[in-house]
Amino acid sequence: MPIATPEIYADMLDRAKSGSFAYPAINITSSQTVTAAIRGFAEAGSDGIIQVSTGGGEYASGSTIKDMVTGAKALAAYAEEVAKNYPVNIALHTDHCPKDKLDGFVRPLLAASAERVKAGGLPIFQSHMWDGSGVPLDENLQIAEELLAACKAANVILEIEVGVVGGEEDGVANEINDQLYTTPEDAIATVKALGAGEKGRYLTALTFGNVHGVYKPGNVKLRPEILKTAQEAAAGELGQGADARPFDLVFHGGSGSTAEEIAAAVDFGVVKMNVDTDTQYAFTRPVAEWMLRNFDGVLKIDGEVGNKKQYDPRAWGKEAEAAMARRVVEACENLRSAGTHQA
């Protein structure tokens, strides 16, 4: 199917929230990972989200070019073409963008989308993330207000982060401490600044102990009940019922989370969960195995010519794609989005 329109993306998020499931958001860095992610969603019978980080955009533009906007646009164009052959809806998103990269990443992409929309087309990306976790909350929300207005004009959804996700991703590193937990006051400040959709739709990444990186189950101290408390605080500020869930929530840093923690987060309003570390490993692990198992064919040992069928990138690339697709299917099953696609 074609890449999701803004209307289809909004419907995806609405259905996830009302149906208590969430979509995996899979980071992509190359044509192979784009194909693997979309294949995984199709095999799971789930719509899904694929996303480009600043580092992923730089990499995709060419290792000697390192232009994050060029790379992001290239990946979006590739996804737009290949997604047509799969029977699920795919939304395109840009991942963590800190303040010092806004002018070199999100703002140019938003401007390009605005031009396309003005000419009667669709935005390039359906949503963008502003990562304001590295600045004070007042500044975070002030920038979010400005970006939300620009996103609304381009028919794009904004994602924000309120709180700090620990660990490291794409060079953005944060300590693991008490700041990993969003407060009810933070939630109230967010709805005061950004409203409840009338200023534009936004996704909110609240923090409840999340940590980027690789951790064994049990080593990450998540407190999903913080999401419930935040929803209640925001609902109270907006004059909604105590059981309302005004925020469309995003779960970052989920590697090492238990099935119970993931389920609780989804029940409290998570509609999108970022999956990167696990799919990186899933993609790379079979490549390492292929090389070790076929080293005498991959390498030209003792003056021999090797085996072209074994060092052809398509040979080990197929293994990597299949493994990453399986991990995407698993993510869909864990988040209860498997089988939820509606034709």
d(CA 217, CA 259): 10
Annotated active-site residue in 95, 131, 170, 186: 95
Do residues 143 and 158 lie in contact, with contact meaning Cβ atoms separated by under 8 Å?
A: no
Do residues 228 and 268 lie in contact, with contact meaning Cβ atoms separated by under 8 Å?
A: yes
In the chain, helix, strand, coil percent, each to 5? 50, 15, 35
312 is catalytic: no
Do residues 167 and 213 lie in contact, with contact meaning Cβ atoms separated by under 8 Å?
A: yes
* Residue type present at position 205: A
**Alpha helices (H) in the chain, listed in sequence order:** 6-19, 31-44, 54-61, 68-82, 106-118, 137-153, 184-194, 225-238, 259-267, 277-293, 295-298, 308-311, 313-334
Burial class (CB within 10 angstroms; exposed 0-12, middle 13-18, buried 19+) of 327? buried
Active site residues: 95
